[in-house]
Amino acid sequence: MKAEPNQTLVLEKAVYGGDCLAHAGGKAVFVPLALPGETVAAHITESKRSFAKAEVDSVLVSSPDRVEPDCPHFGGCGGCHYQHGAYPVQLELKQQILRETLTRAGVNFAGTIGQLSGPAWEYRNRIRLALTSDDAGRVKVNYRGRRSHDLIPISRCPIASPILFDVAQRVAAWLTANDEPAQISEIELFTNDDQSQLLLTLFSESNRLDPASNLQGWLEGLHAALPPLAAGLRLQLSDGSLTPQILASSGETSLTYAAAGFEYQVDQGAFFQVNRWLVDDFVACVLEGLPTGQSAWDLYAGVGLFARQLSQRFAEVTAVESAPASLGALGCNLAGTTGRAAAATTLEFLRRNRQEREPRPDLIIVDPPRAGLGDETTTLLNAIAAPDLVYVSCDPTTLARDLRALTQERYRIEAITLVDMFPQTFHLETVVRLRRS
């Protein structure tokens, strides 16, 4: 196949996923690490019938909003996408992307989209790193590469809580000096609001371990070498299972996370909002202006971040969660409140509710994963028709799809807020307040 020549491209706008859009030869061309209004020299890396992908060789006309990235790994590492743009411009791009995504899906909202943001650095309370060894046997920590599965050795990570990368480097140094009986391939670190506690999970891809290996003693040795804040360590198989095989553990299995006036138990492997600067304001944004009443449902409840708050406003709160890693903490966080945990998927819970004709709740909060709600869940929510519905989304594309289904039949949008939970990246969170028509 004949290689396409390099091209001069004028970037038109940002699109979801971190790229900017240009056009050449009748095709849409998607270009990363650029800004709207720039002119770049680029080479095509992938060409399809209706679109192409390109990489920038040089910036010919630079945007006045272009800045020097803070991280030396930016561009090769796949973790960040917008470090080359001033932070206020990043927020503007996300506003434009969110508005355009909703409009393209047929979701019309004439009001102003609100915005919630905080410090743009050192915000992540959780990171996951791959481990490799160099020719000298030194263990290195890595992120995944941009547009590839390559591993990129990392010397710093300016978007992570400082304690996380410090402990990750300590783990790498200890593993360099001590044999690994379990072939550690990745590590995940999670810290609480003030970096006073930390949970470390080590992942092994080996399911054929030497029966004579003292995994427990080995893990306890690593634990002893880490700072006292390392509350708990766990070694588990990296098989993607919701109930992974735990090979060894040391210390605590959870930490305490102070958020929005309460202390939450968060267990290893459980979901919790990633931005330590924004959690309190995020909760306030979700709950702002909501009524008090008899009954509320928190669907995809996690460890109960919203459900615990709702228990102060409603006589009955049902928190629905299916992930085993979150259910134990959810029950603890709701103990002694008006809330109860329901171990089920959201779809199972809604199907059962419609079959049994339970009383309609006054409020429903949904906070689904990136896949969103889907057709059946939106159909059931429309049928239940709670007076107030709050949709917390981490993907504008699936949000737009679901909002179209909800607003065509039962609901109207009262407010939309863009929450920049992931500065320097293309990811964005959205809180949508809906009211039954």
Q: Is 32 among the domain residues?
A: yes
Please answer whether residues 121 and 74 qualify as being in contact, where contact means their C-beta atoms are separated by less than 8 angstroms: no
* Span 160-179, average pLDDT: 96
Tell me the CATH number at 296: 3.40.50.150
Instruction: Say how many Å lie between the first and final Cα of the chain, rounded.
Output: 57
Average pLDDT over residues 159-172: 97
282 and 407, same domain (yes or no) = yes
Q: What is the pLDDT of residue 258?
A: 98
How many degrees, rounded to 5, is the angle at CA 418 between CA 416 and CA 422? 155
What is the tally of structural domains in the chain?
3
Q: Is residue 264 part of a domain?
A: no
Residue 22 is assigned to a structural domain of this protein? yes
Q: Which residues contact 48 (CB under 8 A, 6 or more apart)?
A: none
What's the confidence (pLDDT) of residue 5?
67
Report the pLDDT value the prediction gives residue 211, as an integer from 0 to 100. Answer: 65
Positive or negative: CA dihedral 87, 92, 97, 98: positive
State the pLDDT at residue 212: 64
Residue 2 has pLDDT above 60, yes or no: no
Average pLDDT over residues 123-142: 96
d(CA 42, CA 113): 34
Residue 262 CB partners (closer than 8 Å, separation 6+)? 308, 309, 333
Domain span including residue 150: 126-257
Name which residue leads in pLDDT, 149 or 267: 267
Choice between 179 and 427, residue whose per-residue pLDDT is larger = 427
Worst-scoring range by mean pLDDT, 31-45, 119-133, 227-241, 306-320? 227-241
Tell me if 60 is assigned to some domain: yes
Domain at 28, CATH number:
2.40.50.140
- Tell me, what's the pLDDT at 148? 83
Angle CA(374)–CA(109)–CA(396) in degrees, nearest 5? 40
CA-to-CA distance for 31 and 51, rounded, in angstroms? Answer: 11
- Please answer whether residues 268 and 254 qualify as being in contact, where contact means their C-beta atoms are separated by less than 8 angstroms: yes
pLDDT at 180 (0 to 100): 83
Does 106 share its domain with 133?
A: no
Distance CA 232, CA 215 (A): 15
Same domain, 43 and 114: no
- Whether the predicted pLDDT of 364 surpasses 70: yes
CA distances in angstroms from 110 to 99, 402, 417, 428, listed in the order given = 10, 18, 13, 20
The larger pLDDT score, comparing residue 338 to residue 2, is at 338
Q: Are residues 112 and 133 in the same domain?
A: no
pLDDT of residue 1: 43
State phi, psi for 301 to the nearest 5 degrees.
-75, -15
Spatial separation of the C-alpha atoms in residues 233 and 200, rounded to whole Å: 5
Convert the pLDDT of each residue in 133-142 to its tens digit: 999 999 999 9
What is the pLDDT at residue 6? Answer: 83
Beta bridge partners of 339: 317
User: What pLDDT digit, counting tens, does each position of 70-115 carry?
Assistant: 999 999 999 999 999 999 999 999 999 999 999 999 999 999 999 9
Share of the chain above pLDDT 70, in %: 97
**Residue 382 sits in the same domain as residue 298:** yes
pTM attached to this predicted model = 0.95
Give the residue from 66, 85, 110 where a domain finishes. 66
Q: Is the pLDDT of residue 207 over 70?
A: no
The average pLDDT across 250-258 equals: 97
pLDDT cut 90: percent of the chain above it:
88
Per-residue pLDDT band at 291 (split at 50, 70, 90): confident
In a domain, 92, yes or no: no
- CA gap 292, 117 in Å, rounded: 27
In a domain, 188, yes or no: yes
